[in-house]
Chains A and B, each alone.
Chain A
Amino acid sequence: MSEQKQSSGDILIEELNRTNSSSRIGQLGQLVLIPILAVITGLAIGAIIIILTSESVYAAFGNSIGSGLGEAFGVVYEAYWALFIGAVGDPAKISAALSSGDAEAVRRAFNPFSDSLVTTTPYIFAGLAVALGFRTGLFNIGVEGQLYLGAALATYIGFAFTDLPPILHIPFALAGGLVGGAIWGFIPGWLKAKTGGHEVINTIMMNYIAIRLTEWLVKGPLQRPDAQNPISPIVLESSQLPKLFGDPIRFHIGFFIALATAWLVWWYLFRTKMGFDLRTVGANSNAAKYAGMNIVRSTVLAMSLSGGLAGLTGANEILGVNHFFVSSFSPGYGFDAIALALLGKNHPLGVVLAAMLFGFLRSGATSMQLNAGVPVDIISILQALVLAFIAAPAIIRTIYRLKEPKESDAMMISAGFGD
């Protein structure tokens, strides 16, 4: 593994070159430029929505156009500034804390930042799950269901096995999450390989089955003994992901586990021959079959691995943040993950960066809602817009008058249902 000494930036460039040949520099430029422009454009449209839905702006326009424009600028500034402070922290507080030198104050000033990393963590896992599927030509739209199964199993291991030291209990519970999700990914993978049943439909169906199933679990076998409402017992402290700072700072080691997982996925996909199998099956399953690769095994394996990563998403949330299972705890990580996998060009490093963007936006949005009165749901709108722009770069190129690259880069992942 002598090649592992490259910097991550070199690796990204190398990977991009693997798939794109002609006019590399132009393409590379657009590869980085388009996601950035997509996010900026999304934020701009978000600003327009904020303005259009602000009563104070209408009131100000009633007075004069000038005051209207001023107010419009004001509400957007207020909202995005609140978003920024909520996501990264208040620069004034940070510098004050740093100059005071009080460790506790510094920790508190950086709390928004570390909290954003906590929000980022599940996005990394979920994004990797979707990206791994895409790389194998599979559209795993079932991450949402898989993460519920993973979470349920991790919860069970977390509270049912007493007297385990953390060094055993944490890996055990995480493995449970992995297995729970993997089972839920295995089924549609197997159905696809054996019967040709399209994984998009099957994973959508399995999302709803998973939600109903875990609803039932948490009302029955997994219900907290003394509770009236459907919640599980709290997982034992020995299974909780350790927090690096004292309460109330939520930052736990899950973020580092996620980074390590991203590296592992990259290594597996781009360095090993099993990864080559998966990527070849994804790029052209016929050619893979002719080259003696086992399509059934690759498809089942990829869906299981993808499901396993999704299961880790759920386990991470239970063991690191929530500490007990309650139905519908996920704010839609599985669906957001589709957007961020594409934003990260299905590359683990890209996924990490895109997950951080989504994590910081989500995390900051809470403070935006509180301080600027802009509902957090603006982030979902933003994500939808970014997804559209990334999938159809022609829109961005039209807006910014960029040149068309030679090779078409429209996203085609799923084959037709008729195949």
Chain B
Amino acid sequence: MATLTTTVPNAATSVELNRRRRMGFVFIGFALLTWLLFAVWQGPEAEAITTFRLAPGGPNSPIPPWEFNALNGINIVAGICAALGAFQLVRGFGRATSTVMWLIVILFAFAFLTWAASGKSLNLAGLLNATLVRAVPIVIGAMSGILSERAGIINIAIEGMMLGSAMIAVIVGSLTNVWGGIFAAILTGALLAYIHGVLSIKYKIDQIISGTVINIFAAGITSYISAKFLNTYAELNSPGIVKPFPLPLLSDLPVIGTILFKHTWFVYTMFIFLILMQIGVFHSRWGLRMRAVGEHPKAADTLGINVIRTRYISVVLSGMMAGFGGAWFTLGSVGRFDEMMTAGKGFIGLAAMIFGNYSPMGALGAGLLFGFADSLQTKLAILKVPIPSEFLLMAPYVITMIALAGLVGKAQLPAAGGKPYDKE
């Protein structure tokens, strides 16, 4: 055959270079910020000691607290960040760049804690444990979003699906047991998601509007039933809760055991889902087809993949995941239903999905970060840090907007997201 001399001009090299440099400057920016904020501007006394407790229970705990000089700690962290940034500028981390980015975020958080707890004592193990707990609904919400949006259906109704299933979980849980409640919650999520699917896939209405319909409907129906029944019949609103289940052996591990292995089954199940999804989305037939439908439905159709059915399945799975998350609010946490109790967690889940670049592991990272901000704001008053807790509560939203603006690399959005599939 004839030789084809066509080549791709400069195949993406300049983009790679720009991104590498930009990330390098971001890393160094973090180093400077850490140093200026926590060491120079509001720096602790030179001899101030930071104490991190590593186990619950007061001073009698078996594990000794971790004590070090606050200023040194902050300087070391700033130094590490700067070194990472310098390496990124000169050589580049290549494919590991995003991992390093996460490392920098963790280091920054560590410097913040060191500064906040200088001259005081902070229960680090407890804080991290709470971080994980508060990350649960966010990560589940993000996974719910990934399931649907990877197939091209934007799902802003996660909030509503969680709210609706949280209430059903309570009612069914009160009438049967908590497991029945969880089952009913998952069904409720599936049902609401199916409605979202019918509206946006069959009737092709704008997916944002369809999601808004679900959100308003869920808010209305839960408040209605709550006002009409749950407030009068208290026995319908007392399902009990899923008790924590310390994993044998693992929960005895020092520090790690406290943080990771003394949770309820909700937390463990979340991790199982995360692993399944990470493999499923990127390395299974199901995931390949789902992503194909989200990227280029027509191409998938011409290869004999049923686009409509794939989208329905994805959106219903998304709803089941949201339903599971909804059950956490009531059965996994407080054991009763309150009006509007999801309080925007579904939307933070959406934010975590975007910040985590539509990948389950990214969602976990983002969820933990947001959960950290959430659990930290409860400690600020104790630590007497002069930052209003509202500002920490805002942080996830601000971070997501920054991420969306592409300052730290653009998210890879499914190309066909939001568009209904029309055969012709």
A residues contacting B by CB (< 8 A) are 49, 53, 139, 141, 191, 195-198, 200-202, 204-206, 208-209, 212-213, 215-216, 219-220, 332, 335-336, 338-339, 342, 373-375, 377-385, 387-388, 391-392, 394-395, 410-418
Contacts and interface: CB of A to CB of B under 8 A. Distances in A.
Top 7 nearest A-B pairs by Cβ distance? A380-B220, A384-B217, A392-B203, A416-B418, A375-B227, A377-B223, A381-B220
A53 B210 contact: no
Given A53-B229, A342-B209, A418 B415 contact: yes
Interface of B: 149, 154, 156, 199, 203-210, 212-217, 219-221, 223-225, 227-229, 344, 347-348, 350-351, 354, 388, 390-391, 393-394, 397-398, 400-401, 404-406, 413-420
Given A53-B229, A212-B393, A391-B209, A381 B418 contact: no
Given A195-B406, A388-B213, A413-B208, A378 B344 contact: no
B209 A411 contact: yes
B229 A205 contact: no
A407 B392 CA distance: 49
A416 B417 contact: yes
Given A206-B397, A209-B394, A392-B205, 17 more contacts: A197-B405, A205-B347, A212-B394, A213-B394, A219-B390, A342-B209, A374-B228, A379-B220, A380-B219, A381-B217, A387-B213, A388-B210, A394-B203, A411-B205, A414-B207, A416-B419, A418-B418
Contacts of A391: 199, 203, 205-206, 209-210, 213
Contacts of B204: 392, 410, 412
Nearest to B411: A417
Nearest to A388: B213
Given A197-B406, A387-B213, A208 B401 contact: no
A337 B220 CA distance: 15
Contacts of B225: 53
A196 B348 CA distance: 20
A418 B204 CA distance: 18
Nearest to A410: B204
A382 B219 CA distance: 12
B255 to A, nearest CB: 33
A416 B416 contact: yes
B203 A205 contact: no
Contacts of B394: 208-209, 212-213
B266 to A, nearest CB: 24
Nearest to B400: A205
Contacts of B213: 384, 387-388, 391
B401 A205 contact: yes
A53 B393 CA distance: 38
Nearest to B219: A380
B224 A417 contact: no
B357 to A, nearest CB: 13
B417 to A, nearest CB: 5
Given A191-B405, A206-B397, A392-B199, A414 B418 contact: yes
B342 to A, nearest CB: 13
A49 B228 CA distance: 12
A332 B339 CA distance: 14
Contacts of A395: 203
7 contacts: A208-B347, A332-B216, A413-B209, A415-B418, A417-B417, A418-B414, A418-B418
Contacts of A412: 204, 206, 420
Contact of B216 (A139, A195, A220, A383): A383
Given A381-B221, A392-B199, A53 B228 contact: yes
Contacts of B214: 384
**B213, B219, B391, B406: residue with the most chain A Cβ atoms closer than 10 Å:** B213
A381 B225 CA distance: 11
A215 B397 CA distance: 16
A244 B350 CA distance: 46
B94 to A, nearest CB: 25
Contacts of B208: 139, 141, 200, 413-414
Contacts of A195: 404-406
**A196, A208, A373, A383: residue with the most chain B Cβ atoms closer than 10 Å:** A208
**A53, A206, A209: residue with the most chain B Cβ atoms closer than 10 Å:** A209
A417 B216 contact: no
A387 B216 contact: yes
A201 B400 CA distance: 9
B212 A338 contact: yes
Contacts of B224: 49, 53, 375, 377-378, 380-381
Given A204-B156, A375-B223, A213 B390 contact: yes
Given A200-B208, A378-B224, A216 B390 contact: yes
A13 B103 CA distance: 61
Nearest to B347: A204
Contacts of B347: 204-205, 208
Contacts of B348: 208
Contacts of B229: 53
A416 B294 CA distance: 11
Contacts of B217: 380-381, 384-385
A214 B53 CA distance: 35
Given A375-B223, A413-B208, A339 B216 contact: yes
B283 to A, nearest CB: 23
Given A335-B212, A391-B206, A418 B417 contact: yes
A196 B406 CA distance: 9
Contacts of B406: 195-197
B228 A417 contact: no
Given A381-B224, A417-B418, A216 B209 contact: no
B246 to A, nearest CB: 35
A415 B353 CA distance: 19
A379 B87 CA distance: 59
Contact of A209 (B149, B215, B397): B397
Nearest to A328: B340
